Structure 1
């Protein structure tokens, strides 16, 4: 399940970047299509993330800090929300500086907890 989750995130980030590039090039209709596909990928990411968090809490892994798993889940949802807000604001021509800051903070939290602190990361 971890590999499916990571694959979903990589696909989501690639589609996010493609949608941003299309928006900035003025290709609104193709950017909207990529944005809709990205929303389907969000559902896949959320499903695999919920399954991973439930695995952590079910006792399958030595989990000394269950709050970290809950924090990663919340930060993942925050990251998806930031990605969605960036694309919507770009489409409407509104400023996105604050949302980009949120995106980077949430991304750092997700990566540090996911790869370096929680089980099934690089160090466990």
Structure 2
């Protein structure tokens, strides 16, 4: 079976698991060993999310490359906001702004992913 034939499902699986791991890790006390382990597993999922997203982008970039590129950038931005939440939590500073930016970028990324031609058409 070809990797790219199932990469949409693999991509969805990786970002769902990534969001769950992010929520679990952000709820843990900063500086604990368990949190560090969950964060490292989450970072592996970041790599998998980027690889599967890049594979989808390369495969379908002739359909609507501009919007797929914007979706890819918002996906990277979402991952960046996840890491910023962790960084601010470690320093004991307020994370409210980065939570808001995370949620907004996640919603934009999901909207584009579902709206574009290979996504699920919830918004028809």
Place the TM-score, normalised by the shorter chain, in its bin.
0.7 to 0.9
Q: Is 1:72 matched up with 2:71?
A: yes
In structure 2, what is the Cα distance between the partners aligned to 1:105 and 1:20? 17
In structure 1, what is the Cα distance between the partners aligned to 2:25 and 2:87? 11
1:27 Cα shift? 6.7
* Partner of residue 90, structure 2: 91
1:66 Cα shift? 2.2
Q: How many residues align?
A: 116
Which residues in structure 2 correspond to 1:23-102 (within 5 Å)?
Answer: 23=29, 28-57=32-61, 59=62, 63=63, 65-102=64-101
C-alpha RMSD over aligned residues: 1.6
In structure 2, what is the Cα distance between the partners aligned to 1:43 and 1:79? 13
1:6 aligned counterpart, secondary structure: helix
Find runs of 4+ consecutive structure 1 residues off by over 6 angstroms.
none
Please point out which of 10, 20, 23 is paired with 1:14.
20
Contact 2:31 2:90 in 1 (8 A): no
Q: TM-score, normalised by structure 2?
A: 0.87
Q: TM-score, normalised by structure 1?
A: 0.87
Unaligned runs of 5+ in 1: none
Deviations 1:62-119 (A, max 9, x none): x2x321101000000000000011012112211112111210110111111001x212
Unaligned runs of 5+ in 2: 1-6
